[in-house]
């Protein structure tokens, strides 16, 4: 099975959702419809804790000053 990080977004009013999507897609996330808004594919290997946290740090940097908050959920 492939490991994925699922991201749920809660948009603010400072930046348009389409801009948030563009920023996240620049990090390698793919837009998804359903219970998760975006998915990051790790592949077959389980990501290490520091890799998931580093991805979260990149999301924070990409969303800085956007007013958006998010939740990450990583599993196979």
Check residue 1 and give its pLDDT: 77
Report the side by side order of strands in the sheet with 69-75: 30-31, 38-43, 3-10, 69-75
How many other CB atoms are there within 10 angstroms of residue 5's CB atom?
22
Give pTM, 2 decimals. 0.92
Going from N- to C-terminal start, the domains of the chain cover 6-40+51-75
Over residues 1-50, the pLDDT tens digits come to 799 999 999 999 999 999 999 999 999 999 999 999 999 999 999 999 99
């Amino acid at each position: 099975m492939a490991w994925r990080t699922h991201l749920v977004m809660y948009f603010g009013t400072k930046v348009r959702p389409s801009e948030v999507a563009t920023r996240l897609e620049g990090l390698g996330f793919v837009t998804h419809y359903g219970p998760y808004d975006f998915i990051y594919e790790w592949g077959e290997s389980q990501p290490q804790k520091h890799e998931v946290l580093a991805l979260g740090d990149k999301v924070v940097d990409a969303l800085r000053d956007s007013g958006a908050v998010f939740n990450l959920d990583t599993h196979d």
